[in-house]
Amino acid sequence: MIGQVARPVSGVKCRGEADRMRGFLNRHAVSSDQAVMALRFRERRMGRFAWSTLSILIAGLAPALGQAPAQAPADDAALCRTTSGDAAIAACTRAIAGGKLKDRNLAVVYNKRGSEEERKGEPDKAIVDYDEALRADPTFVVVYVNRAQVFRRKRELDRAIADYTDALKVNPAYTFAYNGRGVIFNDKADYDRAIADFDEAIRLDPRMAIAYSNRAWSYRNKTPYDRNPL
C-alpha cells in the first residue's frame, strides 16, 4: 500500500542465517571442506541479498528523503483573484479555459481579467471581458460600473450612462452607480441631472465624501460667474 515504509534489512539477520547454517552442518556431520564451502556460499548469498535489498530500499526512499513531493496544480481561479498584472491575466485565462466555472464564479474571473486589461491600457479587451462577465451573471452589479468607467474613458458617455442605469436596476441603493452617473451627466453639461444623482448618493450614504465634492463642482459649473468683474 502506498504510504507504508518497508523496514531495512539489518546485518543481524544475515549473521543469524550463518549461525543456523553452522548448526545444520554440525548436525549432519558433513566434511570440514564441505562445511566451509557451504558456509561461505551461504554468507555470500545472504550478503548480496542484504545489500541488494538495502539498495532497493534506498532507491525507493530517495524521493522522500531528497526530493520535495510533487505539488498539486495551483488553483487558477484563486491566483486570478489574488495576483495582478500579466500573472493575473494568465491565471484568469487558464481558469476560464478549464471550463469548470459558471455563473457568478465565472463572472468574477472575467471581471478580474477585464480590470487587469484595463490597467494595462487595453480598454477594448476589458469591455469584451466585462460583456462576458455580465453574460455569465447579469446581476453582478460591479461589472456595470467597471464597464461604464471604461466607456467614459473612451468618451462613449451615453453607453456609460446606460451601464450605470442598469446597475441601479439591479441594486437601486448602489451609491457608486449614482455617483458615477452623476459624473457622466456633469461631463455632458447636464448639471441638474448630475446634481440629482449626487443628491441621491448622499442621501443613501451621507459619509460619501466624493459625492459632496462632485456635487459642488456641478453647482460651480451650473452657475457661471464673472471671472473679471471689474
pLDDT, tens digit only, all 230 positions of the chain: 333 323 333 333 444 444 444 444 344 434 444 444 444 444 444 444 333 333 333 333 333 334 433 333 459 889 999 999 999 999 999 999 998 999 999 999 999 999 999 999 999 999 999 999 999 999 999 999 999 999 999 999 999 999 999 999 999 999 999 999 999 999 999 999 999 999 999 999 999 999 999 999 999 999 876 444 44
- Domain end marker among 42, 66, 90: 66
Q: Is residue 77 one of the residues assigned to a domain? A: no
Cβ–Cβ < 8 Å for 18, 43: yes
All cell numbers assigned to 6: 518497508
Distances (CA, A) of 109 to 26, 77, 106, 120: 81, 7, 5, 17
Q: Is residue 114 one of the residues assigned to a domain? A: no
- Domain end marker among 47, 66, 85: 66
> Can you count the helices (H) and strands (E) in the chain?
11, 0
Q: Is residue 194 one of the residues assigned to a domain? A: yes
Range of the domain at 17: 11-66
Please report the pLDDT score of residue 225 as a whole number. Answer: 62
Q: Is residue 33 one of the residues assigned to a domain? A: yes
Q: Is residue 51 one of the residues assigned to a domain? A: yes
Q: Is residue 78 one of the residues assigned to a domain? A: no
This model's pTM is above 0.75: no
Phi, psi of 18 (to 5 degrees): -65, -40
Q: Is residue 176 one of the residues assigned to a domain? A: yes
Q: Is residue 84 one of the residues assigned to a domain? A: no
Rounded CA-CA distance 94/68 in Å is 25
Please report the pLDDT score of residue 223 as a whole number. Answer: 85
Domains of the chain: total: 2
Report the amino acid identity of residue 29: A
Please report the pLDDT score of residue 90 as a whole number. Answer: 95
Report the amino acid identity of residue 111: N
